Amino acid sequence: MQFIIILLLLIIIVLLLDISSRIPKRNYVKEAMQRDEEQREQLKKV
């Protein structure tokens, strides 16, 4: 029974890693700069 549980957990981990590798990598610096620019524009409007 424990063997089946461990096997299923390993299958789930492999599937999650496969899904994760398909997702495009995020550019956190670019996103932060865009957020900062949007906040500056909103402050200028007020």
DSSP letter for each residue of the chain: -HHHHHHHHHHHHHHHHHHHHHSPPP-HHHHHHHHHHHHHHHHHH-
Q: Tell me the two tokens of residue 8.
A: 């299923």
Residue 37 has pLDDT above 80, yes or no: yes
Domain that holds residue 34: 2-45
pLDDT at 45: 78
B/e letters for 25-46, b = 16+ CB within 10 Å, e = fewer, are: eeeeeeeeeeeeeeeeeeeeee
Number of domains in the chain: 1
Q: Residue range 17-44: average pLDDT?
A: 93
pLDDT at 44: 86
pLDDT in tens, 2-26: 999 999 999 999 999 999 999 988 9
* DSSP code, position 25: P
pTM equals: 0.56
Q: Residue range 21-40: average pLDDT?
A: 93
